Structures are given as structure tokens and as C-alpha cells.
Amino acid sequence: MKSLLLFPPDWLPSEPYLSLPSLASVLRPAGHDVSQLDVNVEMYDLFFSSKFLQHVARRIDNELRHLRREQKERALDEEEQELMKRLLVCTPERLEQFCADVKKAKEILRGNTFYDIDKLEWATNCLHQTMALISLGYYPAQICFPPIETDVVYKPFMSAEILEALDDDQINIYRDVYRMLIHPVMERERPGMVGISVVQQKQLIATFTFCKMIKEKFPATHITLGGNIITRIRDTLPAIAGLWEWFDTAVVYEGESAYLKLTDAVESGGEFSKLPNLIYKDAAGVHVNKEVCAENLSELPPPDFDGLPLEKYFVPHLILPYLATRGCYWGRCTFCDHFQGYVEGFRTKQADQITDEIKFLKDKYGTRFFHFTDESYPPALFQKLARKLIDDKLDIAWTTHMRFEESLLEEKIWKDAAESGCKYLHFGYESGNQRVLQLMDKATKLDAIETNLRMSSEAGIWNHLMGFFGFPGETEGEADESKAFVEKNSANIHSLGFMTFVLGKYSPVAFEPEKYGITYYKNPEWDLALDYYFTAKDGLTIQQAMDVFDEFEQKHNTKWDLRTCVREYVFLYIDKFGSNHLPQLEMTEQQRQQMQHPAIGMV
């Protein structure tokens, strides 16, 4: 039986996502015939092509004809008039220019001119403008690059709206993505089983669009959904009958062993009721199995990227993801619900196994660039791995995610990390106020944060900080301390990203709202919501936190306004130029002004 694994849009196409290669690595040795299709990167490669832009031009022509017919019958409203103006400037000459520009932009992103920041910036702006043109063909959808800004009108946290989106040929661009990218593979390979990995909520509309269109043409195909988002909606998904029309099973928590057992059962016609981590439907309804399993990491093979279009990612050098641990070694932060992906606590591979697998992947795929996608790298393993990479002379460049730790206060630790190839670290900063950090159960001391920042920066590592405003009980003064702290340490902070607090439905705060002085509201129509609207007894309201965030966005150290904010791009620049001092990445004053007062583009 042929098995097809799909990774759906939208995700930034700068490196493969790890879920499909992790499944392929256990399915293939067991004798299963597996194809991997990263629909996301294939989609962007398609979008930025003459073929797709010609398709968009035909849709724009159809929309213009429709508006002109309407204009003969009645006066167009203000929105229609504005749309018509935007459509009219999409002339054949402009389309031809777009076709030439996107070809050049992709060449820049995948070639050595990537390291000319002016050209990189031109290329990314070109792709952004091209997506604005594509959006006109699917109006009123806003389909963006980078994809975090995409809005296809329908809400992915409401099953009713997902179902409504599935047949909408005007707005739902994923119907055309299916026709152009997935249907030809289905026709050619006729897989008996399709597995789809869903790792962010926005992917749900594309996912169910693909499911429905597969089932309509290939009704016997067994469709399985998995990934972190499916695990997070496991409590509500079984009751949503409309969605279950279009898929057969769902694998929750870790997927390697569970999906392998399911594949064996589908192929042999075996019984589903005893399979681990499974939700399934049959003639009697939807069933949630009690059996669960977790992986023994030492027994898992390294990921298998064979069959993915590794040359199509929008980078000049392939970056491979690698996961050495499962879960978070700290696992106590009260705002976090990442632990929902696992039924067991923190586990790790040993340093010897990690370095052996990295060497294997480096040699097999011809790359020295690795993204260690662990939720938070354990300090002891961080030190051991750095030393082992040095001793084994692996010559790689790597980036990962870290907590600030009092066990990392020796300069040699950071010098070893830098010598081993560590270029870029994502730090969970959260807050610069000690009381708020204690409320979060971060157990992080501000002086340790300062020391970690100084030592890592002096070793040549790029430090990126992630924080947020509005944790329940945080006052405006405490939020100001967070801002003051990063300003004070700006010499050792190279980039940062702030947001406002989000109440995750599985977070400790949501489990004990009284303890944190909040009340929250569950909207029954938002049946797939992963967070809740809340009110806090003390401290900043949601709106006040947003105001603090907006003010910080306007009034912060200008060194953090970068000409590219893509993590993988900065990572590659640090390696290329051998330094965490990259003044060429900083915006000019003129560019900042343009961002605050953008000109109206042609589309």
C-alpha cells in the first residue's frame, strides 16, 4: 500500500518541518512505500511562477467582467469601486514584470546574492507585493508572505466556518493548490493512505480542504490527521460530525510508533480499537482509544528527508531541523501549554547518539546548517553537546531555543558553544520584573539573565529575546521594567520579539484561574479555539497590554528594527560574516519612516 504524507500551508518555506521526515524514518524501514509532499514549499514555489500568475490574471479578468456587468445594472458601492481600481492596474505589462521579478527573487533567495542585504530585501519585498497581486485574484482573502499575516476571511477556530470555506472557489485558494499540486500526485500514485501533519491552527482550513477534495475523488483513501494542533483539539474534535465526513482517523501525542501501527492495521484490515494514541470513526460513530504510548528516543532513527524538494526551500543553503529531546526539561512555566504534545515527561537522547545522527545527516544531505528544534535545550546537554561537537570536529552551524539559567554562568560554556558552531539563540525572556517572573514560575534571576546575555554575546552568539506584556497581575510599572531591562542590556541583545499574553486553554493559568485572579469566557461557537478571552482582577487589562505593546513597537532601540526578521536568514548571515555584529541588517531612518507611513502600492 502506498502512503502519502502531506505538510499543509501556511508555514514559512525556509526549512523543512520535522514531522513528515520523522514519520518516514520509521515507516520505510518497516517496509512501507512512503512519499512525502511538503505542500507548503511547493505552494510558494508555484505561487511565484509565471504559470500561477497567469492563472491569477484570468481570475482578475473574470472579476473585472463581473464588476462591469454589475456596474451596468447598478451603482457600485465604495468597496467595489476601490476593488475595480486595483484590478484595472493589473495590466498585461505589469503581470509580465511580476513574472520576471519573481523568477529573479527566487534566484536571489536560493543563491549567493542572498548575502547582499539590498538584494535580499528587494527579493522579499517582491514576494510580498506578488502575494498582494495574488490576493486580488481571491478577493477578499489576504494571502501574504510571510504567511503569519494571511487571512482567508474564514476563522480556523470555528468548525462551522472551516466547513463553509471548503467549497468557496472565490476565497479558498487552497482548492486551487489541491488541483495543481496534490491531485496530480493522487492520480499518479493512488495512495491507500494519506497522513496530514497540522502544526499551527491556520493550517486547518487548508487541511480540511485537501481532505474533502481527496475524499470526493478518492473515497476509499484512508485519511489520518496528526500533529500538535490535532492533539490540542482532541477534546472537541470527536464531537464535530461535519469534519469527520472528510477524514477517518486522528493520531494524537507522539506519532511515530502510533502511525506505524495504524498503517499496518489499515494495510492488513486490522482492528483499530486497541491502537495507541488514536481517535477513529466507524459505522457506530467516533471512538477515542484509551491506549497511549510515548517514544523511546534512543530507539528512533534520524529523520528521513528523502523525497522532499530540498532545493526549493527559500534559502541559499539547506537548513535541517533536528530534535534531540521531547518535552521541556523545566516544564513549570505557568503561561505555557506546550506539554500538551506529550503523555510522558521530558526525555533526551544522549550526546553520542546526537552527534552520530548529526554527522549522518550532514554527510547524507550535504549541509552543515542545523536548527535544533527542541522546546528548550537543557543546560547540561547544551554543554556536553558543544564539547562533543568540538572534539568530533563536526564543523556545523546551529541554532536552538534556550532558558536563561544560573548553571550557565561560566565564560567557557559560551566559548565552547560558539566554537562548536552555535550562532543564534532564541531565549525565553518573558519579563524583566522579578515578581512577574516568579508568578510565571520561571525561577530566573535578572542578574543571571544579564550574565547569560553578556557572556553569549561576547562569545559571538546572536541573542534573540522573546517576551510579552500583560501576564495576569502585571502592572504598567512592571511592564515598564521589562522595557527598561532590555534597553539597559541592548548591547548584548541583537533582536527581540514581544507580544501580549495569550491564555492558552491547557496552561496552568487556565487550570487555576482563581489563583491568578482571572476569569475567562468560552465562546461555544469557537469550538476549536486554543485560547480564551479573559479579564484580570488586578494589573493590565488585555487592551492596556496591547497599548503597552504598541508603544514599545514605536519607541524602542532602533537597532532592533531589522531589514529581515526571518530567523533562518539572520542565522545564515551570522555564519557567512562570522560575527554577531551585523550593522548592515539594521534599518535606516528612511526605511523606518517608510514602514510607519507606507506608500500605497499598485495592488
Could you read off the pLDDT of 392-425 as tens digits, one per residue? 999 999 999 999 999 999 999 999 999 999 999 9
pLDDT at residue 588, rounded to an integer: 84
Structure confidence by residue, pLDDT tens digits, 172-212 = 999 999 999 999 999 999 999 999 999 999 999 999 999 99
Q: Quick check: 181 and 312 in contact, CB under 8 A? A: no
Distances in whole angstroms, Cα of residue 67 to Cα of each of 63, 75, 135, 369? 6, 10, 17, 50
Question: Can you give the pTM of this predicted structure?
Answer: 0.96
Name the DSSP class of 362: H
Residue 385 CB partners (closer than 8 Å, separation 6+):
324, 351, 354, 355, 420
Residue whose cell numbers read 521589562: 482
pLDDT score of 343 more than 90: no
Q: Which CATH number fits domain 317-503+543-578: 3.20.20.140, 3.40.50.1450, 3.80.30.20, 2.102.10.10?
A: 3.80.30.20
Amino acid sitting at position 327: G
Residue 290 CB partners (closer than 8 Å, separation 6+):
none
Q: Is the dihedral of CA 504, 509, 510, 516 positive or negative?
A: negative
In the chain, where the domains are located: 2-40+176-288, 46-149, 317-503+543-578
Please report, rounded to a whole number, the percentage of residues in the chain having pLDDT higher than 90. Answer: 95
Mean pLDDT of the chain: 95
345: its cell numbers: 515527561
Structure confidence by residue, pLDDT tens digits, 79-125 = 999 999 999 999 999 999 999 999 999 999 999 999 999 999 999 99
Question: Which fold would CATH assign to domain 2-40+176-288?
Answer: Rossmann fold (3.40.50)
Least confident of 317-326, 340-349, 364-373, 488-497: 340-349
Residues 221-242: what's their mean pLDDT?
97
Residue whose cell numbers read 525561577: 443
> How would residue 602 be classed by pLDDT, with cut points 50, 70 and 90?
very low
Structure confidence by residue, pLDDT tens digits, 414-461 = 999 999 999 999 999 999 999 999 999 999 999 999 999 999 999 999
Identical fold, 2-40+176-288 and 317-503+543-578 = no
Point out which residues pair with 225 in neighbouring strands.
Answer: 196, 250
Q: pLDDT higher for 27 or 340? A: 27
pLDDT score of 600 more than 70: no
pLDDT score of 345 more than 90: no
Instruction: Tell me if residue 74 falls in helix, strand or coil.
Output: coil
Residues 505-523: what's their mean pLDDT?
95
Structure confidence by residue, pLDDT tens digits, 256-315 = 999 999 999 999 999 999 999 999 999 999 999 999 999 999 999 999 999 999 999 999
pLDDT at residue 339, rounded to an integer: 76
Residue whose cell numbers read 477517518: 248
Please report, rounded to a whole number, the percentage of residues in the chain having pLDDT higher than 70. Answer: 99
Amino acid sitting at position 39: V
Sheet of 462-469: strand order equals 319-322, 369-372, 397-402, 422-430, 462-469, 495-500
Amino acid sitting at position 275: L
Biggest alpha carbon distance in the chain? 78
Task: Identify the CA nearest to 252 among candidates 272, 274, 273, 233.
Answer: 233
pLDDT at residue 149, rounded to an integer: 86
pLDDT score of 601 more than 60: no
Amino acid sitting at position 474: E
pLDDT at residue 338, rounded to an integer: 80
80 exposure class (CB count in 10 Å sphere: 0-12, 13-18, 19+):
middle
pLDDT score of 378 more than 90: yes
pLDDT at residue 596, rounded to an integer: 63
Q: Is the dihedral of CA 82, 84, 87, 91 positive or negative?
A: negative
- Residue 352 CA to residue 385 CA, distance in Å, equals 8
pLDDT at residue 1, rounded to an integer: 87
pLDDT at residue 589, rounded to an integer: 81
